Amino acid sequence: MSALVRSVRVMSDGRRNRKMKQARRDARRAKKRRVDAVPEPPPDDRSLISFAMENPWGLLMFASEKVEAAKPDPFSNWRSDQRTSVDFGHLLQNFLNAPHSESALLVALFSELLDDQELQQRYRVALDAYQGPLPPWVAGLREVEVHRAVRHSYVLGDFDELWIGARLADGREATCVIRMEHLEDSEIVDADLWVDAIDIHVRRSSNADFTTVDMSLADARAWIERSLQQKFVFRKTATWPGCRPLVRWLVGHMPGGRRRVPVVGFGMGIG
């Protein structure tokens, strides 16, 4: 628990405090396993196609980080890390001037993950005009299927994880994990990717300090979209907010329909 969280609410129950610390240690250990599961992309584009065939979700994560890094960061002067951003207009022009399979692959990824609608449309028009080959999962990115949502909650209610199961056009699955803390409001404090099926993690979730239940895709979408409205990310992790474009993309493929999202406070779950 961060100093900010401790300053908001001091736990008086010693046993409760110890259980919460243990839960966070378990979450950090799991976090390391999840980050290690996502491979790094190759240092150059000579093997990009083969990498895409072997590690589609790793490449999507990489592209998401590039999209996020290009956004203005109001706290950049106070952060120790330096973000390397992509000039997406220049990248698109290079593709139009000399299209080839590697650049087409990147254009396909960014055409899904960009949230600048005008630029995204330009990417999609350029991609639709491309006549060369693409890996099947890349050609079918617009048909990604989000098929299951699970709520993994700490029993004391101060944080939840939403697990979102997704499947690419070639059948390969992954689980997007969105961690929310409930103080004055529900804030996304971390998100990352498990490169395997959500059903595997549900079967393994047997910790007595957590409950794991299915929820409707519409409800999960409403929860996540509400939390994504936060304007600034104060706390950064190895994968957050780098995977925020990937989260938004997956959420966009979930059905809507939830009319109301309850407001929660510290120590309460979202009803």
Mean pLDDT of the region 155-166 = 88
pLDDT in tens, 16-74: 454 455 555 555 544 443 433 444 555 554 478 888 888 999 999 999 999 999 987 65
Residues 56 and 3: their CA atoms lie apart, in Å, by 37
How far apart (Å, rounded) are the C-alpha atoms in residues 153 and 2? 19
Q: Is the pLDDT of residue 230 over 80?
A: no
Confidence of residue 8 (pLDDT cuts 50, 70, 90): very low
d(Cα 220, Cα 247) in Å, to the nearest integer? 12
Residue 267, pLDDT > 90, answer no
Q: Give the per-residue pLDDT at 43.
A: 53
78 residue type, one letter = W
With a pLDDT cut of 70, the percent of the chain lying above it is 71
The two three-digit tokens of residue 4, written as one number: 């900010």
Name the band, by pLDDT with cuts 50, 70 and 90, for residue 270. Answer: very low
Residue 11 has pLDDT above 80, yes or no: no
Q: Taking Cα atoms as reference points, which of 209, 266, 183, 156 lies closest to residue 27? A: 209
Lowest mean pLDDT among 67-81, 155-169, 201-215: 67-81
Rounded Cα distance between 74 and 231, Å, is 10
pLDDT at 64: 96
- pLDDT given at position 33: 38
Q: For 145-154, how does the pLDDT look when each residue is reduced to its tens digit (9 = 90+)?
A: 999 999 999 8
The answer to which of 1-10, 12-21, 37-46, 98-107 has the lowest mean pLDDT is: 1-10
Give the span between the Cα atoms of 227 and 224, in whole angstroms: 5
- SS (HEC) of 155-203: CCCCEEEEEEEEECCCCCEEEEEEEEEECCCEEEEEEEEECCCHHHHHH
Averaged pLDDT, 235-252: 94
**pLDDT given at position 39:** 44
Answering whether pTM is above 0.85, one says no
Share of the chain above pLDDT 90, in %: 54
What is the pLDDT averaged over residues 230-240? 81
pLDDT value of residue 40: 52
Mean pLDDT across the chain, nearest whole number?
79
The strand pair at 159-167 and 173-182 is best described as: antiparallel
